[in-house]
Structure 1
Amino acid sequence: MSESPLKRNSKSNLERLLQEMLDRPASEAEITREIEEEFGETRAVLALDMSGFSRTTQRRGIVAFLLMIHQMKRIARPVIEANDGIVVKAEADNLFCLLETTTGAIKAAREIIGRLETVNLVLPEDRRLYASIGIGWGRILNVDERDLFGDEVNLASKLGEDVAEKNQILLTQAAQAIAAQSGLDTREASVSISGLTLNYYQLV
């Protein structure tokens, strides 16, 4: 029985190409181009982080917070999909999503926060759901819609997890440059993280 061919943008194929790069150092540039061709996409990245993980876990235990994460996913996923996006992966209290456009990512982010605010009206205070969101735009590597890599992925994650406060939507410089074409109102700011200065924009 013949071996099944590897799916072009699969994790297995990526690992094969990376191993080839180690085995054939002289071909690094050629293999790099092949990886970028097979896995590369220009997309909007939305990184969502739930606020209050440590506080809620200490008060109510990890199972209670897992329930809140589950509820967050049930709210966020259909919003992402309705805006031509996909939830690529969920890690702890974070969601990483890809969308076709920055406009769609911003629309989805605003709708998610709006739905959370509505849900919070009927939830007890210690079970209320809050999100911090970072949005990037640019070239990324999409591994079978199960993992993603790239500078804008890292920047959006930093903004969503480390910089944004609850209910804030922050944009990378690349995402803001696209959003500005639609006349969206943003406020520029910067922050120092690990010795690096990160410039970003907050939706207002």
Structure 2
Amino acid sequence: MEQFVATAHPDAEHLAHLLRQRRSQPAWQTIVDAEIRDRFLTTCAIVVVDMADFSRLTQTEGIIATLQQIQTMRDLSVPLIQNRGGQLLKVEADNLYLSFDRAEAALWTMQELRAHLKVADIHISVGIGYGEVLRVGDRDLYGHEMNLASKLGEDLAADDEILLTESAYQALSTQRSQFSSVTRAISDVTFTYYQLRSDTAPS
């Protein structure tokens, strides 16, 4: 089987090559799966930040003013995130996708960021997951916790709300008493997530 040279974060072309081998040579699936896990699997906290009121701002203020607000959010967010050990994976419209080594670091940074942005009258919704994901290149994470963090940050979190997946909550060694649990069914799937009290200040 053809081998790629290992890099810090193997890219999408590398993964596509392995997946084609997996499809075309079923007898090698176990070997290919092991290589994919070895090359791409990592454990981290995943954070999805969504700027609140994007649609309303576009309708009431116009797209140019909204884009300016998004740029301001990015300019205020990225230095703080990087100074706290977070990695910016990518920016899409009004969303930021981030990773941290630890769930606590992700939570503390998001609390600080929320307070920082409120001063500029910018409000965010945040979803945090934690667990094993496939990291492809420097921009993309794939896995269940990535999907859940996106669902929490983009769809379920209200303005200025921080929501954690079950795995992210369990990975915390502190601050658990500051959360309340919510269980709900979405698309016929029932899951529990944890809501940080809105009056909780950064630790």
Match of 2:60 in 1: 59
Match of 2:190 in 1: 197
Match of 1:182 in 2: 174
Question: C-alpha separation between the residues in 1 aligned to 2:148 and 2:93?
Answer: 18
Match of 2:147 in 1: 154
Scaled by the length of structure 1, what TM-score is found?
A: 0.88
How far off its partner does 1:29 sit?
Answer: 2.1
Name the SS for the 1:182 alignment partner.
Answer: coil
Question: C-alpha separation between the residues in 2 aligned to 1:92 and 1:64?
Answer: 14
Name the SS for the 1:31 alignment partner.
Answer: helix
Contact 1:45–1:96, Cα closer than 8 Å, also in 2 = yes
Match of 1:124 in 2: none
The yes-or-no answer on 1:133 pairing with 2:133 is: no
Name the SS for the 1:59 alignment partner.
Answer: helix
Question: C-alpha separation between the residues in 2 aligned to 1:5 and 1:40?
Answer: 16
Contact 1:169–1:203, Cα closer than 8 Å, also in 2 = yes
Name the SS for the 2:159 alignment partner.
Answer: coil
Question: C-alpha separation between the residues in 2 aligned to 1:60 and 1:39?
Answer: 43
Q: What residue ranges of structure 1 are gaps of 5+ in the alignment?
A: 121-128
Name the SS for the 1:165 alignment partner.
Answer: coil
Question: C-alpha separation between the residues in 2 aligned to 1:20 and 1:75?
Answer: 44
Q: How does 1:83-122 map to 2 (within 5 A)?
A: 83-120=84-121
Contact 1:88–1:98, Cα closer than 8 Å, also in 2 = yes
Contact 2:152–2:163, Cα closer than 8 Å, also in 1 = yes
Percentage identity across paired residues of the two chains: 36
The yes-or-no answer on 1:170 pairing with 2:166 is: no
How far off its partner does 1:28 sit?
Answer: 1.7
Name the SS for the 2:70 alignment partner.
Answer: helix
Scaled by the length of structure 2, what TM-score is found?
A: 0.89
- Report the number of matched residues: 192
Name the SS for the 1:166 alignment partner.
Answer: coil
Contact 1:135–1:175, Cα closer than 8 Å, also in 2 = yes
How far off its partner does 1:99 sit?
Answer: 0.4
Match of 2:37 in 1: 36
Question: C-alpha separation between the residues in 1 aligned to 2:187 and 2:93?
Answer: 23
Question: C-alpha separation between the residues in 1 aligned to 2:30 and 2:5?
Answer: 24
Letter in 1 for 2:25: R
Contact 1:49–1:131, Cα closer than 8 Å, also in 2 = yes
How far off its partner does 1:135 sit?
Answer: 0.5
Structure 2 CA distance for partners of 1:188 and 1:5, relative to 1, 3 Å: closer
